[in-house]
Structure 1
């Protein structure tokens, strides 16, 4: 079965900035897209999802037989070992596992050098927590405290690249980053979300992928707290932030009601590298 390292790593890296949902009190709640989108792991919704995130990536590429489809880091480690695809050295595109027996956390290595691994991980945070809030790219030590217990060795189409002397002994390696796609946002979708999302339950969404782009731009403008800029819900705080943006742009009255219009959204897009359509 075909399984491209570059496609897998970049699929996961493209999720960077995604965040799980929040409960009625505004706390992160482990509700995310990856459990329901991975057949067999729907039951894991609401639980720690670092392993589910990596399984989701393999499933998306039709490579379920080449990756442990499990929500358990410990079970995944045993899967790699049983398949005789386990090493103590970094593997490009491979899974790394943290904890005394690899039970605590997992992510995927997109680059490594003699001292560090560069990773993409779900259910972590900017500080590297094992129980975080979203998808982040991290730098972790190869050796010593907080270094990995070990690594899974996937059977990639491109072959294995690893620091393991038995697997080639490549000292440094990285997966190339593709040219970024043009980011498009529908003005009609954003306006619809701004009208609908504030009336939904906490964290309710209408067009989360596009809303996330606009919310990040609002946060960069200083108009929305970063903690609320990645949930994909154009809730009351986003509406209020957008109203402040409209007033900043010189709008008033009903033209500054927080419902994005095409002209203001286009201006915001030019400042933050997204294109407004329709």
Structure 2
């Protein structure tokens, strides 16, 4: 798990069908999530919808400090607002809050359309109660006054959201970083460099073309000269190798000669 929206949703959906404890004819709020979230152990036997959301973020691999660790829906709303990541619009993997001030109930959005949000919620039931008995998938009207708002986690690839004003951070993808320069790109860059070094006013200046041709021609001639020198030295070494010549000493002299040639 790498802490993506997809990871959070998979974790949340995997819990559908889980139920809290039942004793004496009553559901007890005794569940597995409170003991599993550091800092929320105390919330055992309390309403646990917010604890369930924190557990899902944790199990999905989200970094500590990137989501609210609280059993209180109201504090969860405040956390997202203070982080500047609260919206009136749904988002995939967002934490949705319900009721007055968002303090009644919470869940995780796994899909939305123009009219509905689709959620995974802990401590609810088949009727959508804020004090239920387990983990359920729910379908709720987007514009119901019971829906208060949404907290947007800082997922690695951003968040898919209906908020027209929301801006995800932009970063070059691996594919963008791996795109190679074409020959035309290299020529354009070369023209820009030569333009500045040559004092020309434009990359289209005839002196730029002349300078580039001269430079490339000189480079090609230099490379051919060095290649010829190397071939000649190699031939000499091969002819001397049968005469008992100290090849180590000869190699040092060859290296010195090539270094001197390159430095010219």
Task: Please indicate the TM-score interval, normalised by the length of the shorter structure.
Answer: 0.5 to 0.7
Q: Partners in 2 of 1:157 and 1:15 — Cα distance?
A: 24
Q: Are the counterparts in 1 of residues 11 and 60 from structure 2 also a CA contact under 8 Å?
A: no
Q: Are the counterparts in 1 of residues 107 and 121 from structure 2 also a CA contact under 8 Å?
A: yes
SS at the partner of 2:144? coil
SS at the partner of 2:65? helix
Q: Partners in 2 of 1:69 and 1:86 — Cα distance?
A: 16
Higher mean displacement: 158-167 or 94-103:
158-167
Partner of 2:177: none
Partner of 2:126: 126
Q: Are the counterparts in 2 of residues 161 and 168 from structure 1 also a CA contact under 8 Å?
A: no
Q: Partners in 2 of 1:21 and 1:145 — Cα distance?
A: 31
SS at the partner of 1:167? coil
Compared with structure 1, are the counterparts of its residues 45 and 135 closer, same or farther at alpha carbon in structure 2 (3 Å cutoff)? same
- Cα deviation for residue 144 of structure 1 reads 3.0
Structure 1 length-normalised TM: 0.58
Q: Partners in 2 of 1:27 and 1:144 — Cα distance?
A: 30
In proportion to residue count, which structure has more helix?
2
Partner of 2:249: none
SS at the partner of 1:106? strand
1:147-202: CA deviation from partner (whole Å, max 9, x where unpaired): x1110011112211110001269xxxxxxxxxxxxxxxxxxxxxxxxxxxxxxxxx
Q: Are the counterparts in 2 of residues 74 and 102 from structure 1 also a CA contact under 8 Å?
A: yes
SS at the partner of 2:100? coil
Q: Are the counterparts in 1 of residues 5 and 159 from structure 2 also a CA contact under 8 Å?
A: no
Q: Partners in 1 of 2:152 and 2:44 — Cα distance?
A: 27
Partner of 1:117: 117
**Which 5+ residue runs of structure 1 have no aligned equivalent?**
170-278
Q: Are the counterparts in 1 of residues 95 and 151 from structure 2 also a CA contact under 8 Å?
A: yes
Partner of 1:102: 102
Does residue 152 (structure 1) correspond to residue 151 (structure 2)? The answer is yes
Q: Matches of residues 241-256 of structure 1 in structure 2 within 5 Å?
A: none
Q: Partners in 2 of 1:114 and 1:138 — Cα distance?
A: 16
Partner of 1:65: 65
* CA RMSD of superposed structures (Å): 1.7
- Cα deviation for residue 65 of structure 1 reads 1.7
Q: Partners in 2 of 1:104 and 1:154 — Cα distance?
A: 20
1:190-241: CA deviation from partner (whole Å, max 9, x where unpaired): xxxxxxxxxxxxxxxxxxxxxxxxxxxxxxxxxxxxxxxxxxxxxxxxxxxx
- Cα deviation for residue 61 of structure 1 reads 2.9
| Alignment: residue pair count | 167
Q: Which runs of 4+ in 1 moved over 3 A?
A: none
1:241-267: CA deviation from partner (whole Å, max 9, x where unpaired): xxxxxxxxxxxxxxxxxxxxxxxxxxx
**Which 5+ residue runs of structure 2 have no aligned equivalent?**
169-264
Partner of 1:27: 26
Structure 2 length-normalised TM: 0.61
Compared with structure 1, are the counterparts of its residues 140 and 118 closer, same or farther at alpha carbon in structure 2 (3 Å cutoff)? same
